[in-house]
């Protein structure tokens, strides 16, 4: 890969996740419920440091640009990370690239009152979703047949899911139903 190509690869990955989430939540009808956050969430960081909280809805890599999408981003702070190889062992030892991403995301999500949801891609591997214990409970309530791989990390449990297991039409319908009813 040429220098700077990783940034383009990451931006394209974020766009792909936005489209995939949009199709999932809309039952395949739309691709425009979500889009990349301004500066990949950096605008929120800058505004927060200035003592302003008018960009809190742009925290993370994915922003809802439709009220239906906002149902998801009100519950989860969504990040998208594409690495050649994730250091899964390092996560358990509190070191490495994955550990740094998880540590930052969990802290940022907590500061906005949301649950972390991380889309992980590594070369030659399927798309994975990583969430905290509460996020896993929400996903499981929406689809009792999905189970994530539990990892005891940090001071809590984290769960890794295959995205194909989570991004099913019935899971989206149940998530929307429960969010409309105020369960999340």
pLDDT, mean of residues 138-147: 90
Q: Is 173 helix (H, G, I), strand (E, B) or coil?
A: helix
Instruction: Give the Cα separation of 157 and 36 in Å (integer).
Output: 28
Categorize the per-residue pLDDT at 126 as very low, low, confident or very high, splitting at 50, 70 and 90: very high
Predicted pLDDT of residue 55: 45
Go through the chain and tell me how many residues it has: 184
Domains of the chain by residue range:
5-180
- Going by their DSSP bridges, the two strands 76-83 and 115-122 should be labelled as parallel
Among candidate residues 131, 122, 13, 157, the one with its CA nearest the CA of residue 72: 131
Instruction: Give the Cα separation of 43 and 47 in Å (integer).
Output: 6
pLDDT at 5 over 80: no
pTM of the complete model: 0.85
């Amino acid at each position: 890969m040429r220098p700077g190509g990783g940034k383009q690869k990451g931006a394209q990955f974020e766009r792909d996740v936005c489209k995939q989430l949009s199709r999932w939540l809309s039952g395949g009808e739309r691709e425009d419920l979500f889009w990349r956050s301004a500066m990949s969430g950096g605008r929120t960081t800058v505004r927060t440091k200035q003592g302003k909280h008018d960009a809190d809805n742009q925290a993370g890599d994915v922003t809802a640009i439709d009220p239906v999408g906002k149902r998801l981003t009100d519950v989860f702070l969504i990040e998208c990370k594409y690495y050649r190889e994730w250091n899964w062992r390092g996560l358990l030892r509190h070191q490495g690239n994955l550990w740094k991403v998880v540590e930052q995301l969990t802290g940022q999500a907590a500061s906005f009152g949301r649950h972390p949801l991380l889309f992980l891609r590594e070369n030659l591997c399927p798309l994975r979703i990583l969430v905290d214990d509460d996020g896993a409970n929400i996903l499981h309530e929406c689809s009792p047949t999905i189970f994530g791989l539990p990892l005891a990390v940090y001071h809590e449990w984290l769960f890794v899911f295959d995205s194909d297991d989570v991004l099913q039409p019935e899971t989206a319908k149940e998530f929307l139903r429960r969010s409309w009813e105020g369960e999340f």
